[in-house]
Amino acid sequence: MSKNLAILTYGCQMNKYDSERIVGILKGLDFQLTDDLRSADMIMLNTCSIREKAEQKVFSQLGRLKRLKEDNPDLIIGVGGCIAQIKGDKIFQRAPQVDLIFGTLNIDHLSSMVREVEKKRGRVIGIAKDFDPDIQPPLTFRESQVSAWVNIIQGCDNYCTYCVVPYTRGRERSRSSSIILDEIRGLADQGYKEVTLLGQNVNSYGKDKSDGIDFPQLLYMIEEIDGIKRIRFVTSHPKDISERLMYAMRDMNKVCEHLHLPLQSGSNRILNKMGRGYTSEEYLSKIDRLKSFIPEIVISTDIIVGFPGETDDDFNKTEEILKEVEYDTIFLFKYSPRPETLAGSLSNHVPPNIKEERFNNLLMIQKEISLKKNKALEGTSDEVLVEGHSKKDPGKLTSRTRSNKIVNFYSNRDMKGEIIEVKIIRGGLYSLDGEIIERGC
Ligand code: 5AD
Ligand code: SF4
């Protein structure tokens, strides 16, 4: 008899991808996906610990689930992801309603862990740190039928001083190129049109392997796969963006003209304290170089405000770069001390009200820039890949330009998976409205 599974995913794209793997594995154990927590036999929380708030969200959700478990003592509650990997059995102490803890590096063993919980009705934990990146199960249950995430490298060796990821996802381990290529060929056979290659630092791909295939080389190999029309990748570290990658991006038809290049701070003093390995001048010169190769490139970034010791002067430098680069999109964060990290033990914290002020200041500047750039697209036409119906307005289809802009438009035909031309009729802050360009005969 099939059982109901609900999964709550917190955090980044890597976690969303891991959730697809978790669902895929559990479907193999006869679980069916539900959004209704009350009807679930098992609830999985795939957690994030990048900032304190993300962690708090998980523990307050666990508080609510405790009441559900009181009503239904057979309910199985599992905690996976980054919090599970670093906190381990401390979660059992804080939340005794939890039956299963499995870290980011233990998803491959989920089947046996779940079976064990079901059999024993006791607690099970899997937080081993060693894993083989090449035995990821092929059972991934993908939400989209058009665009798929494909992990190419796990972990991070950069140890930026604010960041918990090297502790939650371990050291860098690249998957074998043959396994990645097989996975993408399989996706193409299933009709997928787009792949997004995932890794904390995709530019490090292959450094831990001896076959000489680095990230640009991997891109060239994926470019050859029939059926795949678009290739994207996240995340790139500015210190590792090479000229070879820029050439590759310029020369390959399928690699989209979008790059997510986290700046974090515009101040060299703060960049140095963050351990980022580049100066703002080096960062800007890479962007200039990239634009000289690919003038239409769209760049997005991550910024942290309020890193310990950030002065008004440091902050102003970040503001200047934001105005100079004119990113299309930014992801803005207030610094959150993480206990495991080097910066977590620094004492010269920026007061919350100043962080808030700086955050709002940058947000306002960016909103103006994003809107200006999107408005400038009104009247132009562009090629989009149709992803499906819009969640907000099911009467519309939602699609993406190669530059990663969302375009919503009306259509009386389901065009999911098609690549078509649209005219942009309205540029909003986060998305564009378009209309289909009818082709004459
Ligand atoms: N506090 C605030 N933001 C953080 N990020 C990573 N660690 C922290 C932290 N401790 C941000 C960085 C990173 C993004 C995924 O999250 O900007 O690029
Ligand atoms: Fe974290 Fe830095 Fe690694 Fe990105 S590069 S995951 S910010 S340690």
Residue 54 Cβ contacting ligand 1 at under 6 Å: no
Res 133 pLDDT > 80: no
Distances (CA, A) of 375 to 250, 425, 427, 432: 26, 9, 4, 9
| Cα(50) to centroid(ligand 1), Å | 6
pLDDT digits (tens, 9 = 90+) for 406-426: 999 999 899 999 999 999 999
pLDDT digits (tens, 9 = 90+) for 277-319: 999 999 999 999 999 999 999 999 999 999 999 999 999 999 9
Going by CATH, does the domain composed of 381-436 fall within 1.10.600.10? no
pLDDT band at 1 (very low <50, low <70, confident <90, very high): confident
Residue 336 Cβ contacting ligand 1 at under 6 Å: yes
pLDDT band at 136 (very low <50, low <70, confident <90, very high): low
pLDDT band at 82 (very low <50, low <70, confident <90, very high): very high
Residue 201 Cβ contacting ligand 2 at under 6 Å: yes
| Cα(25) to centroid(ligand 2), Å | 28
Q: What letter would DSSP give residue 439?
A: P
Res 46 pLDDT > 70: yes
Candidate of 10, 49, 51 to mutate for ligand 1, largest count of ligand atoms within 8 Å of Cβ: 51
Distances (CA, A) of 60 to 53, 67, 94: 11, 12, 11
Mean pLDDT of 76-100: 95
pLDDT band at 200 (very low <50, low <70, confident <90, very high): very high
The fold adopted by the segment(s) 147-375 is pyruvate-formate lyase- activating enzyme (3.80.30)
DSSP string, 227-281: T--EEEEE---GGG--HHHHHHHHH-SSB-SEEE---B-S-HHHHHHHT-S--HH
Residue 160 Cβ contacting ligand 2 at under 6 Å: yes
In this prediction, residue 69 carries a pLDDT of 93
What one-letter code names the amino acid at 409? F
In this prediction, residue 102 carries a pLDDT of 95
Residue 342 Cβ contacting ligand 1 at under 6 Å: no
In this prediction, residue 108 carries a pLDDT of 87
The fold adopted by the segment(s) 3-126 is Rossmann fold (3.40.50)
Q: How many residues does the chain have?
A: 441
Q: Rounded to whole angstroms, how far apart are CA atoms 155 and 177?
A: 17
Q: Which atom of ligand 2 is nearest to the CA of 163?
A: 1
| Cα(114) to centroid(ligand 1), Å | 32
Q: Which ligand is nearest to the CA of 158?
A: 2
Candidate of 14, 200, 202, 342 to mutate for ligand 2, largest count of ligand atoms within 8 Å of Cβ: 200
> 202 near 153, Cβ under 8 Å?
yes
pLDDT digits (tens, 9 = 90+) for 172-197: 999 999 999 999 999 999 999 999 99
| Cα(333) to centroid(ligand 1), Å | 6
| Cα(347) to centroid(ligand 1), Å | 18
Residue ranges of the chain assigned to CATH 2.40.50.140: 381-436
Distances (CA, A) of 369 to 314, 326, 330: 21, 6, 10
Q: Which ligand is nearest to the CA of 337?
A: 1
Res 439 pLDDT > 80: no
Residue 277, φ and ψ in degrees, nearest 5:
80, 15
Residue 51 Cβ contacting ligand 2 at under 6 Å: no
Residue ranges of the chain assigned to CATH 3.80.30.20: 147-375
| Cα(342) to centroid(ligand 1), Å | 14
Q: Which ligand is nearest to the CA of 261?
A: 1
Residue ranges of the chain assigned to CATH 3.40.50.12160: 3-126
Q: Which residue minimizes the CA distance to atom 2 of ligand 2?
A: 160
Query: In whole numbers, what is the pLDDT of the chain averaged over residues?
Result: 94
Q: Which ligand is nearest to the CA of 162?
A: 1
pLDDT digits (tens, 9 = 90+) for 117-127: 988 777 999 88
| Cα(236) to centroid(ligand 1), Å | 14
Indicate the range of 17-31, 122-136, 366-380 predicted with least confidence. Answer: 122-136
Residue 102 Cβ contacting ligand 1 at under 6 Å: no
pLDDT digits (tens, 9 = 90+) for 322-371: 999 999 999 999 999 998 899 999 989 999 999 999 999 999 999 999 99
| Cα(82) to centroid(ligand 2), Å | 14
Q: Rounded to whole angstroms, how far apart are CA atoms 167 and 179?
A: 26
pLDDT band at 391 (very low <50, low <70, confident <90, very high): confident
Res 137 pLDDT > 70: no
Which residue's entry shows tokens 């009441």?
A: 67
18 CB burial (10 A radius; 0-12, 13-18, 19+): buried
Q: Where are the strands (E) in 278-318, listed by range?
A: 298-305
